[in-house]
A and B are shown apart, each in its own frame.
Chain A
Amino acid sequence: MAPLGSSGGSGWRLPRHELALVAAMVAVFVITGWLDPNHTYFATWAESRDIILRNTAILGIIALGAAVVIIAGGIDLSAGSMVAFSATTCALLLALFAAPDDRRLVTVGPLGIGVAIGGSLLSGLLVGTLHTWLITAIRLPPFVATLATLVGLRSFARAMCLFVTKQRWGSESQQINVNTPFFAWLKEHNVVIMTCTFLVLALLTWLILSRTVLGRHLYALGGNEQAARLSGIRTDNVKWFAYCFGSLTASLAGIFLMADSSVAQPGNLARGYELNAIAAAVVGGCSLQGGVGTVTGTVLGALFLRVVIDAVSKLIKASADVYEGMIVGIIVALAVTLTQFGHSGQGARRLFPGGRGLAAIPTIAAFAGLLAMMGAANVDAFAGRTGLLGGAVAGGMLLLLATVRWLEGQRAS
């Protein structure tokens, strides 16, 4: 596996990790287009393309922020809540500029829109600054600091929503409908605007990481904080940039999501997005140990995740999101496993060492068998034989993994 550090310093040439993602995406497209009974990717490609682009842009914008924080050696678990907080801030500021009885926010003028967007982005900067303070001054581990805001920000946004709606309109509401013409326009053109914003943001991030001193400091900080500090880098300032960038991208995504769904609903909006963003960065090659990662990898990681999720929606005709978490989890585990194998010992590490390795084999086989059984339940050809199929897959997997373990043992000896 090619080294993933050195960021975008390699110019526009795609390293092998990114090439693997592109190849996997092409494979997913081709296989899905072939297996999907409707052949949706060929029959109505434009609509599928729009869905993938829209969702990739949102995920990618958040993932770019997550990647910068990860490269700097930190972690930001609060992105999903930051999205909800930013959207709520934007909607509440719009409510303050709307006519007194306008609960749909149709009457907000340009000044109100500007203040709402500005206030929303400012909230991102403030939360990023708060994170940095908690981490550098209070000395909280980044995981704990951003875990606190993960739960705190959403709750704060909900309380803020109830308070402002009560003060403004006399009755509490957990959500604010946003029908402001500007945001309706944004929604109407969301694919183009969000995709362009994502690409511009990606370009900016690439420039910062690969063409500026700050970018080198971010990698140095993530690679070895102590060494970075001793070499004269003002690490606290670099952290401030990283966390502010992470929160700012989340707040930008919050504005887009609010426009896209015509509502700010702090209780549910973007719940769990932080983990998908981290997953996209990791799939794209970022190392959670810091100092390693690329913008191109993160962009492709986000695109790859959304392509796979969309492909599953095309194949499983209803409630496909039930499988979304499982698939993202498998892809993340697989991507990191392969990356680690590429980095360490060039394949010398064993997949199933010792007793725990042995225990993992039946576990993986059982999961594979159950997955096959559940999938087969949707296929007429397997009616009444789903248990048989599940057993066959589990048995086959057991045999395969046991063989791998035996070969590993032979190689070691």
Chain B
Amino acid sequence: MVDGTVVPRMHTLITTAFVACLVAGCSGNAGTATPMAGGPAAAAKAPGVAKRFVFITNGDDPFWDACLSGLEEGAKRFGCAAAGITVSRDVNNASAEGQIERLRQYATQPDVAGIALSVIQADNQAIVDEMKKLQAKGVKVITVDGDVNRELYREARSYYIGTDNVVGGRTLGTAAKALLDAKGLTSGGYVQFAGFTDNDNARSRMNGVKEAIGDRYVERDRMADEMDLQRARDNVRNATQNHKDLAALIGIWSYDAPAIADVVTESGSRDKYVIATFDAAPLAIGQMQKGNIDVMVVQNPFEMGVRTVRLLKAMVDDDEAVINEMFPRAGMPDGDVHTTGLRVVVPDRSSPVKDGLFDSQVVEFLTLPDFTAWLAKYHLTGS
């Protein structure tokens, strides 16, 4: 029997030892690098010292898996390992708080030399403040996919890599209009679905869709799900029940496509709607193969990842040649924006959406088999 007076001491020891083991058990790279006291700027410049690039997403979505593949590819192509640079992805919890906390945490870590983030709220002052603090410490900060409000906070990052979301929206709107016209409709409503309707990229895309789809078709709602997949489905259900003249369902964020396809399939109402969506999540590709999605405007998260690494490495190395190549219009309006192009994907050549509707300088037109072949080439399941 254990003596009663000994038990408290044992508990103290057990608690201490257990927590210590727990923390030690979570150690990632113990003993593999030397300590640095010079801060990120010093770390970024010092040759042979381990450095890190961190990519912070806006939330959790398969879209970012393709970006991660791109980051890995970029790390290979641009010799990060030889330069002592590791690249990692940090998945945010879809909140501004989450991004702020992550930025603060990385500010304490002297091996972080570059941060790329998809800003979750373009107008959020706190996120901007943390980005500026990182810059002041010598960390290179760029935005990818989701930018800050460029009118107010452009200086919070050096560059933006991603889609021109207004052009992307216009492209999707053009495709949706062609599909609606092909159905013989002259009027009707449509609803747009996204994670947040006042996120910069969502807002730009929706405005682009509205602009291109024209006045004959009326935007009935913009519905936000805050990146909750179940809520995304509920939004589609509510939209189809609330708006009797609905003719098109527009998915703005990647998971909206399978959400829309699932709901119209379960309700047996596929034929009633034109379904036009952004991105090519793995589930969305499957749904297009089944005939449940009419057109996808696909960004290139893989290439965003590759170019993120290229740019951050060039910034850390002060490689002006690469930076000038990526941003040939530097100093001009939006000269700090690098777009990664768009693809319009249709099920097959019989689609009413035709190549000639789009500017070939900006948009690559593909059928689904061609697109899946490209995915297979890079071992991707979605884009």
Contacts and interface: CB of A to CB of B under 8 A. Distances in A.
Nearest to B88: A318
A187 B105 contact: no
A372 interface: yes
Contact of B95 (A104, A260, A265, A310): A265
Contact of A47 (B14, B107, B123): B107
B97 A257 contact: yes
Contacts, number: 211
Contact of A35 (B27, B54, B89): B27
A29 B373 CA distance: 51
Interface residues of B, number: 67
B126 A28 contact: no
A321 interface: yes
A172 B15 CA distance: 50
Contact of B109 (A38, A263, A334): A38
A38 B12 CA distance: 29
Contacts of A197: none
A43 B121 contact: no
A371 B32 CA distance: 21
Contacts of A411: 1
Contact of B11 (A1, A37, A173): A1
Contact of B23 (A19, A21, A42, A312): A312
Interface residues on A, range: 35 or more
B97 A269 contact: yes
Contacts of A175: 96, 121, 196, 198
A268 B12 contact: no
A40 B37 CA distance: 9
B27 A315 contact: yes
A342 B15 CA distance: 13
Given A261-B126, A268-B226, A371-B25, A342 B7 contact: yes
Given A38-B110, A260-B100, A346-B7, A184 B125 contact: yes
Contact of B91 (A55, A267, A319, A381): A319
Nearest to B55: A318
Interface stretch (A117-125, A129-137, A206-214, A323-331): A323-331
Contact of B88 (A40, A317, A331): A317
B1 A375 contact: no
A19 B111 CA distance: 35
A336 B22 CA distance: 17
A319 B57 CA distance: 10
A31 interface: yes
> Which among A28, A39, A43, A318 has the highest number of chain B CB atoms within 10 Å?
A318
Contact of B29 (A31, A265, A378): A378
A107 interface: no
Interface string A1-39: 110000000000000100111011001100110011111
Contact of B30 (A1, A43, A263, A379): A379
A28 B18 contact: no
A35 B196 CA distance: 40
B232 to A, nearest CB: 13
Contacts of B31: 35, 37
Given A20-B16, A24-B16, A263-B96, A39 B35 contact: yes
> Which among B18, B24, B27, B52 has the highest number of chain A CB atoms within 10 Å?
B27
A285 to B, nearest CB: 12
Contacts of A348: 1
B27 A327 contact: no
Contacts of A378: 28-29
A341 B7 contact: yes
Given A104-B123, A174-B226, A271 B95 contact: yes
Contact of B26 (A104, A173, A315): A315
B332 interface: no
Nearest to B121: A263
Given A265-B95, A315-B27, A24 B125 contact: no
Contacts of A28: 19-20, 23
A338 B14 contact: yes
Contacts of A101: none
A157 B126 CA distance: 22
Nearest to B228: A267
Contacts of A322: 91
B126 A321 contact: no
> Which among A2, A35, A104, A335 has the highest number of chain B CB atoms within 10 Å?
A35
Nearest to A265: B96
Given A16-B12, A173-B198, A260-B126, A44 B110 contact: yes
Nearest to A43: B37
A381 to B, nearest CB: 8
23 contacts: A2-B8, A20-B11, A20-B16, A23-B16, A24-B20, A27-B20, A35-B30, A37-B30, A38-B35, A47-B107, A51-B101, A174-B197, A175-B198, A184-B125, A261-B96, A263-B96, A271-B95, A311-B23, A321-B98, A341-B11, A346-B3, A375-B25, A380-B32
The 8 closest A-B pairs by CB, nearest first: A378-B28, A262-B126, A268-B95, A347-B2, A37-B33, A318-B88, A346-B4, A262-B125
